[in-house]
Structure 1
Amino acid sequence: MAQAPADPRDGRGGADGSDAVELGGYRQELKRTLGSFQVFAISFAFISVAVGIFGTYDDVLRSAGPVGIWLWPAAGAGQILVALVVAQFAARIPLSGSSYQWASRLATRKVGWGFGWLSFCFLAVAVVAVDNALASQAFMPLVGMRPDEDAARVITLVVLFVQTVLAIASTRIVSVINTAAVGIEVALVVVVSIALAVAVLVTGDGAADNLTSRGVTA
């Protein structure tokens, strides 16, 4: 008979989280086959770091000018605090179920049920939105297709189908594809950053005044 779930806040969890898993009524059965970079790549791809950077940077330039870049350290500090809280939860309650498990054990199962459905709705909407953006903003312009929302929706459905097949077929295949894509993405960001720095040094067009300028928004 399985042991009743215990409160992981009592501090009895082992250093590797195995004790907390057993206290939660689970047995340690999952084979941990993903490496450190593969785990990083999953998180990196999930929150779309590069897409967010390019999107928000353009918005900052249009609404605040170059000086808006100083908002990033403040936002970054807040995000680090959120990440530390999530890391603490993951270390104390290392069970499947994400926010459902955390909310259920920190509050009540009814609250956890609500969090679980909110997470499900978010993931369902986010995956479709990202795939649609891939179709309409990246794939169609790349292959020379004219803007057409109906065509974008068909391509989105095809992408969703391929993703579903890959996820069902093998976690390892998904991990390899995702790791390769994130590796290329990170490398490109580094290359672009270095290229921009070199261009500023060579042309001499860079100016420290840009860091406090409102630009055309003034």
Structure 2
Amino acid sequence: MTIIVHHLENSRSQRVLWMLEELGLAYEVRRYARNPRTMLAPPELKRVHPLGKSPVIEDGGNVVAETGAIVEYLLEKGDGRLAPPAHRDAVLRHRFFLHYAEGSLMPPLLVMLVIGKLGLLGRPARPRIQAMIDTHLDYLEGELAGREWLVGDGLTAADIIMSFPVEAARMRGGLDARRPNLMAWLARIHARPAYRAALERGGPYSFA
């Protein structure tokens, strides 16, 4: 059965398309454009899920929202693909990154986005938020020392869910060549054929 992905342009849902490409699962993309004035999702998404957010997937009778929940759902369908190595340390590390991406790393990046829209009013808060982001980026730079991927020797769902906040950090969080491990990890992601195929299916995505 084909999975339907309700995909908002320039959003977290790009990761879902990439994961589906890596897993080789059949899917259909239903694209939604942001409101050009507010940059919010259109009201049509509320017909799919009451929160009106993206990503949302439909699979048979199941409607699944929230990126982390979708990633776990797709992992169950993946027959072990993109899962961590089957030992306790790797499983715990993988679980950590599945929650860390949206629970800890993304919030200060969202605050920085809001600060940027406030102009002079937001300027006093910028150094404090940047310091928070730097703490996360330094942590991740260390975690990738001597590693190509976040968990084990190959790509896992942890890398997929972490891709968007790190891309956002490169765009507005100060990530640059001063953190070569993170930049190399991001380059490996962007070079993957499945990532490129997902971009073609998903349409405009300014974070790549």
Q: Report the TM range for the smaller structure's normalisation.
A: 0.3 to 0.5
Q: TM-score, normalised by structure 1?
A: 0.31
- Greater Rg, structure 1 or structure 2? 1
Bigger strand share = 2
